[in-house]
């Protein structure tokens, strides 16, 4: 059936292209670009046309329904943060006194840097494609309509573009005195375009074409809010079996109308250069950390995640630049989302986004908190909503260490070490009332009342001290290094002894008092009963009875929700091998075909099987969800303890959600709920693939790379090319034939030391005169080797 649908789409595309596509069509510029056709049953779901200044969100069928919950119904449309420009637009064609609305596309095709909606209007002898792209660094976008006459006689038609402004502030706009007022629309004859301005603010938007219009008329705006609408029409005559183009340009500004007009004129004049430049930049993104493996779906997902990463970069010059959490409801900046994601960004070579995001988080955190505490969430106008959950401060420390390993830049450590040191001091002095080294407060699980001593906070704190000790040594802060190292060791021992539950073969969700836990049990039973989880209710009642029969006046560990964070000691390699294997086996009970449940007591009948789905609620909620971050943490954890085949199984589950709803993307909540594009997905793929399966672990300050590949059995070949490490570029090639493995390593520079730790028994050195065997299957190459090759005996 899928093959049949694909062939129909291909025939339709070939029919459309049977005459030469107009030379200035976006289709021509992107003819050799990767693309993925969406599913017909998801045409009523969102897509994004992304850019670092402006982006557009609508439905794959070409419409612009109300979307989102952060600003209810307003997260779709066209945004130029910190303002929204438009709710969207309508298009209609009048031909021989018949009006045709382009409101139901038959097909949606996604490209890394553009999208296309296709309308099959066979009744009228027409086929229309709507293309759109957003150039880099431009406060505007281009929409192109390709209109084909499939009949044997000429057609004359009027084409009407009706744009709907909604010049309004971003979320938390009121905190920076951004007050929405009515939009006023006027036709600008000089530009032959509609010009709309908020009457009390400099916010403005303009739309028009490079074709001369034949009529212009104001329209009643029926959207929510105080926007304005304007229609502009164009007359087209199309010869038989020929196509014509109509370009529409949209430009906006939150600064001035002159700024808006400058963008509009530049877009009209330079769009062909802009599209070629962006296409070339995206081709370079694809070449970095280029993956080739037997699993074509996973390989494609990895490639498109690089594009997704770029979609999420948001630049507001007056505030800063950084990766945002997700589209459409989280198009601004977060602490913890970045702390996971940027590790993946670095592994795929997208360095600029890493440095800009860290700079933004550090500077704003310093301005708002001033004590090393890292913020949680900031809107695009610079207003901070949450000054920081407890886990975000230690995770920032580990992020800085991880990035330093890749860039080797000591000045980078010098810049951020004061924030790390202050933050760890704030963490322990302000949030550890009983001074047991476990800070109190919310971590990743934002469940009401779950703010005591959390396992994820403890795990990330332990890793933070371990990483801070290494940074201190490099910077010559020996007393700090000694203190931090001692705290890391003590915390590791305490986590393994005080958070471990023998009864559950798992680390506890939290350490808390009996009173607090009984309240949480009551709430959890209501949740489990609502979701019809009798097994969870039974287990929670047993836990309550145990507490009542064996009361304690001191805090103690509890396994209550089976939240995914119980696996963070495995992600951070804190657990000893024996506990880790038991905990990993326990975690397998709380998965479905797409990954790991956020909260284990929400698991359904599909747990552990290969069939299932997630039905999101009408009111946005993560209850019952399976998410990519918990699944990615489990992939990392399995690899940490030598189980690459188990790790691959989790990656395969996640990959089932690639293209599930939005072609070319993986949803935040698996398979098709929440954000259609999510930053931390790259953590879940890049860290295990680059650093664990291919085993690339740099220490750039020493011009040294350790390569310790541990491939899944399913992969009989694979390569990872052009991994950027400092001024070097590493490629690893793997092949397994007749049960024997071979590895080939190529590097750009020949003055780096490469340490190899290869799996299996004995290896022959096929290439690399400078390679020396150090022990077992460990080899060392100290310079003088750009190509190194090994084969298992």
**What is the average per-residue pLDDT within 420-432?**
97
Q: Which helix (H) or strand (E) holds 705?
A: strand 704-707
What pLDDT is stored for residue 164 in this prediction?
98
530 has a pLDDT exceeding 60? yes
Spell out where 443-490 has E strands.
Answer: 453-454
pLDDT (tens digit per residue) in 553-569: 999 999 999 999 999 99
pLDDT band at residue 721, thresholds of 50, 70 and 90?
very high
**Using CA atoms, how far apart are residues 556 and 548, in angstroms rounded to an integer?**
14
> What CA–CA distances, in Å, run from 254 to 169, 195, 296, 316?
10, 14, 44, 11
What pLDDT is stored for residue 215 in this prediction?
97
Which residue's structure tokens are 């476990």? Answer: 438
pLDDT (tens digit per residue) in 671-697: 999 999 999 999 999 999 999 999 999
Least confident piece of the model among 325-339, 361-375, 383-397, 747-761 = 747-761
3 has a pLDDT exceeding 70? no
Strands 704-707 and 753-757: parallel
**What is the average per-residue pLDDT within 18-27?**
76
pLDDT band at residue 12, thresholds of 50, 70 and 90?
very low
The answer to whether 252 and 197 have CB atoms below 8 angstroms apart is no
**What is the average per-residue pLDDT within 515-542?**
91
pTM, to two decimals: 0.95
**Which burial class, exposed, middle or buried, applies to 753 when counting CB atoms under 10 A from its CB (0-12, 13-18, 19+)?**
middle
Helix (H, G, I), strand (E, B) or coil at 603: coil
Helix (H, G, I), strand (E, B) or coil at 614: coil
Which residue's structure tokens are 């744009």? Answer: 163
What pLDDT is stored for residue 50 in this prediction?
98
**Which burial class, exposed, middle or buried, applies to 755 when counting CB atoms under 10 A from its CB (0-12, 13-18, 19+)?**
middle
pLDDT band at residue 768, thresholds of 50, 70 and 90?
confident
Which residue's structure tokens are 């395969």? Answer: 652
Considering only residues 82 and 773, tell me which one the structure prediction assigns the higher pLDDT. 82
**Using CA atoms, how far apart are residues 375 and 95, in angstroms rounded to an integer?**
56
Which residue's structure tokens are 């910190």? Answer: 82
Helix (H, G, I), strand (E, B) or coil at 280: helix
Residue 481's nearest CA partner among 420, 430, 533, 437 is 420
Read off the tokens for 469: 């000790």
**What is the average per-residue pLDDT within 519-547?**
92
Least confident piece of the model among 142-151, 540-549, 749-758 = 749-758
pLDDT band at residue 428, thresholds of 50, 70 and 90?
very high
The answer to whether 91 and 160 have CB atoms below 8 angstroms apart is yes
**Using CA atoms, how far apart are residues 133 and 111, in angstroms rounded to an integer?**
10
pLDDT band at residue 315, thresholds of 50, 70 and 90?
very high
Q: What is the mean pLDDT of the chain?
A: 93
**What is the average per-residue pLDDT within 349-365?**
98
**What is the average per-residue pLDDT within 325-349?**
98
The count of C-alpha atoms lying within 13 angstroms of the C-alpha of 101, restricted to the half-sphere facing its C-beta, is 8
Residue 131's nearest CA partner among 121, 140, 120, 118 is 118
What pLDDT is stored for residue 11 in this prediction?
39
312 has a pLDDT exceeding 60? yes
What pLDDT is stored for residue 449 in this prediction?
76
**What is the average per-residue pLDDT within 111-120?**
98
15 has a pLDDT exceeding 90? no
497 has a pLDDT exceeding 80? yes
pLDDT band at residue 605, thresholds of 50, 70 and 90?
low
The count of C-alpha atoms lying within 13 angstroms of the C-alpha of 204, restricted to the half-sphere facing its C-beta, is 21
**Using CA atoms, how far apart are residues 262 and 272, in angstroms rounded to an integer?**
17
What is the CB neighbour count within 10 angstroms for residue 143?
21
What pLDDT is stored for residue 789 in this prediction?
92
What pLDDT is stored for residue 618 in this prediction?
52
């Amino acid at each position: 059936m899928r093959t049949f649908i694909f062939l129909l789409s291909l025939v339709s595309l070939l029919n459309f292209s049977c005459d030469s596509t107009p030379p200035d069509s976006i289709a021509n510029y992107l003819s050799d670009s990767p693309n993925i056709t969406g599913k017909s049953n998801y045409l009523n779901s969102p897509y994004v046309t992304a850019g670092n200044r402006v982006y557009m969100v609508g439905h794959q069928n070409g419409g612009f329904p109300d979307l989102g919950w952060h600003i209810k119904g307003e997260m779709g449309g066209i945004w130029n943060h910190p303002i929204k420009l438009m709710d969207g637009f309508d298009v209609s064609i009048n031909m021989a006194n018949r009006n045709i609305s382009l409101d139901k596309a038959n097909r949606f095709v996604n490209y890394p840097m553009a999208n296309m909606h296709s309308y099959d209007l066979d009744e009228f002898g027409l086929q229309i494609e709507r293309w759109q792209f957003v150039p880099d660094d431009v406060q505007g976008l281009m929409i192109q309509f390709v209109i084909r006459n499939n009949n044997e006689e000429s057609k004359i038609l009027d084409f009407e573009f009706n744009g709907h402004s909604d010049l309004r502030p971003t979320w938390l706009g009121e905190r920076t005195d951004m007050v929405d007022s009515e939009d006023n629309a006027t036709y600008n004859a000089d530009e032959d375009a509609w010009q709309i301005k908020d009457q009390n603010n400099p916010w403005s938007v303009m739309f028009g074409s490079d074709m001369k219009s034949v009529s212009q008329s104001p329209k009643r705006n029926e959207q929510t809010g105080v926007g304005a609408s304007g229609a502009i029409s164009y007359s087209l005559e199309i010869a038989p079996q020929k196509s014509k183009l109509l370009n529409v340009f949209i430009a906006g500004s939150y600064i001035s109308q002159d700024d808006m007009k400058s963008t509009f004129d530049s877009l009209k004049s330079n769009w062909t250069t802009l599209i070629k430049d962006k296409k070339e930049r995206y081709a370079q993104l694809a070449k970095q950390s280029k993956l080739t493996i037997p699993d074509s779906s996973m390989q494609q997902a990895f490639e498109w995640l690089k594009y997704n990463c770029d979609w999420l970069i948001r630049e507001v010059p007056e505030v800063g630049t950084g990766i945002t959490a997700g589209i459409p409801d989280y198009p601004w900046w977060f602490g913890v989302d970045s702390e996971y994601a940027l590790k993946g960004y670095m592994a795929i070579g997208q360095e600029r986004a890493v440095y800009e995001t860290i700079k933004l988080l550090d500077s704003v955190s310093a301005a708002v908190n001033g004590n090393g505490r890292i913020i949680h969430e900031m809107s695009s106008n610079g207003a901070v909503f949450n000054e920081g959950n407890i886990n975000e401060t230690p995770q920032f420390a580990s992020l800085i260490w991880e990035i330093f390993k890749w860039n080797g830049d000591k000045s980078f450590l010098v810049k951020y070490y004061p924030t790390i040191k202050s933050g760890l001091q704030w963490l322990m002095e302000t949030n550890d009332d009983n001074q047991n080294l476990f800070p109190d407060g919310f971590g990743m699980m934002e469940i009401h009342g779950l703010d005591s001593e959390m396992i994820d906070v403890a795990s990330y704190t332990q890793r933070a001290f371990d990483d801070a000790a290494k940074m201190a040594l490099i910077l010559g802060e020996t007393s700090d290094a000694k203190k931090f190292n001692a705290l890391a060791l003590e915390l590791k021992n305490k986590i393994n002894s005080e958070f471990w539950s023998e009864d559950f073969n798992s680390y506890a969700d939290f350490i808390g008092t009996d009173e607090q836990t009984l309240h949480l049990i009551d709430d959890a039973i209501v949740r489990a009963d609502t979701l019809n989880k009798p097994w969870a209710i039974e287990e929670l009642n047993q836990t309550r009875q145990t507490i009542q029969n064996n009361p304690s006046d001191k805090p103690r560990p509890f396994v209550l929700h089976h939240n995914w964070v119980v696996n963070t000691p495995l992600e951070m390699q804190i657990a000893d091998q024996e506990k880790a294997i038991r905990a990993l086996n326990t975690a397998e009970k709380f998965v479905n075909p797409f990954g790991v449940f956020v909260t284990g007591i929400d698991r359904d009948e599909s747990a552990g099987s290969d069939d299932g789905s997630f039905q999101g609620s009408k009111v946005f909620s993560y209850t019952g969800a399976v998410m990519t971050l918990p699944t990615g943490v489990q992939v990392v954890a399995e690899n940490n303890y030598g189980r690459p085949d188990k790790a691959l199984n989790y990656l395969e589950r996640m990959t089932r959600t690639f293209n599930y709803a939005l072609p070319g993307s993986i949803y935040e909540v698996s398979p098709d709920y929440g954000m259609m594009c999510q930053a931390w997905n790259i953590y879940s793929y890049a860290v295990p693939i680059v650093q664990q399966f291919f085993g690339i672990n740099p220490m750039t300050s020493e011009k040294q790379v350790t390569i310790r590949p541990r491939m899944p059995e399913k992969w009989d070949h694979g390569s990872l090319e052009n991994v950027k490490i400092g001024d070097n570029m590493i490629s690893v090639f793997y092949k397994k034939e007749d049960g024997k493995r071979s590895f080939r390593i190529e590097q750009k520079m020949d003055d780096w030391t490469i340490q190899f730790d290869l799996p299996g028994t004995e290896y022959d050195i096929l290439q690399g005169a400078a390679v020396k065997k150090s022990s077992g299957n460990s080899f060392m190459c100290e310079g003088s080797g750009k190509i190194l090759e090994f084969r298992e005996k």
